[in-house]
Structure 1
C-alpha cells in the first residue's frame, strides 16, 4: 500500500523563496504543498484550516510574529491526534536561534544551504515526529550539551543587548524603564555568570558564547 504524501505548509516572507521551494518540493512525488504563508499570523490561520503534516518555517518573517513565536503557537495548537510538526528552514545558525526554536517545540532545524535530498529526508523525519538537524546545527547542539552556556534571564539578555550597543547604565535604565540601581544589580549577577568583571568583558564573553544571537 502506497503511503499518502506528506502535506506541507510553507511559511516564508519572501515570495521568491516560496516559489523556489514550491518548485523543488513539487519534484518529490511523496510530498504535497497544500498552502503558502508570508507571515506567522497567516501560517497559524492556514494551519488551523488545512491541517498540514509539517510546517516548513523560516525564522525571520518581517513584521508581526517571528518564526519562533509562530512555532510556539503551532505546537500549542497540536491536537492529540498529532501534527503539525514544525521544521525550521533558515539561514541562521547561531546558538541563540537554535535554542529558541528547539525550546519553542520545533521538530527539526535545517539550514537553507542543505541539498534537496537532505530537505526531503528532513521533511519525512519531521512528519514522523523524528528530530532532523543539519550537521552544523547538530554540532552546535552537542557543543552546548558538553559545555552549556550560562543561563541568563530575559532581563539580563535585554541589558546585555544594550550593553553591546555601548549604552551607559542611565540610558539602559531609561530604555528598559527600570532604575540605575536595578541595572547595576543585574550587571553584577551577569558578570558572575560570565566570569568577567567589566562591561567590555561581558560583551566579549557574550559574543564568544553567542548569547547575543
Structure 2
C-alpha cells in the first residue's frame, strides 16, 4: 500500500502519552528504548515492530537494514543535541563580551545539561562503540560537530569572529568532559566547579595584554 499503508503511516497513536506519532517515529522511539535496554545485536526487528505497534515489514519500508535503523536513532539525537547547543544570539548570556569568566561558567552549566544528561541514545553509543565501526565514526562526527559549536561560542565570548586554536582545543576538552558525566554518574558535574573552570579557561583564552613600552 506504499506510504498510505493503513493508519500506521498516517499518524495513528503510538504508546500512551505519545499521540499522533507517525509509524516511522514510533519505530525510532521503540528502537531507541530496546537498543538501550537489550543492545543492538540482541534486539530483533520483530520485537521493535511489536513495541512500535506496526507491521514487521514496515520497518524495512523505512530503513533498509537494522543498522540503518540504529544510525537513524543516533542521528535523530545528534540533530536535537546540536539544536540545543547552538542557542540563537538573543539567548546568549548577557555577560558575553563583558565578563568572560561568568560567560564561560554559564556555558559550562549549559553543556552539563545538554551533553551531560543520561539518555538512551548516549547509552546505546557507549555500548556499541567497541563493536560497530560505523557507530564509532558517527560518535566522532557528533563530538566534532558539538565542539565546533562550542568553539564558536568561546570565540564570541572573547570577542572574536573565528575561534583560535586554543579555543578549539578548549572546546574539544569541554565536549569530552561534559559527555563523559553519565559514565561517572555525575550528570550535574558536582566534581567540577563552574567558576573555577571558568577562571582557568578565561586566563588561558583571553587575548594577551600588550606590554607597556619601556619608560
TM-score bracket relative to the smaller structure: under 0.3
Higher helix share: 2
Higher strand share: 1
TM-score using structure 2 length: 0.27
> Larger Rg: 1 or 2?
2
TM-score using structure 1 length: 0.27
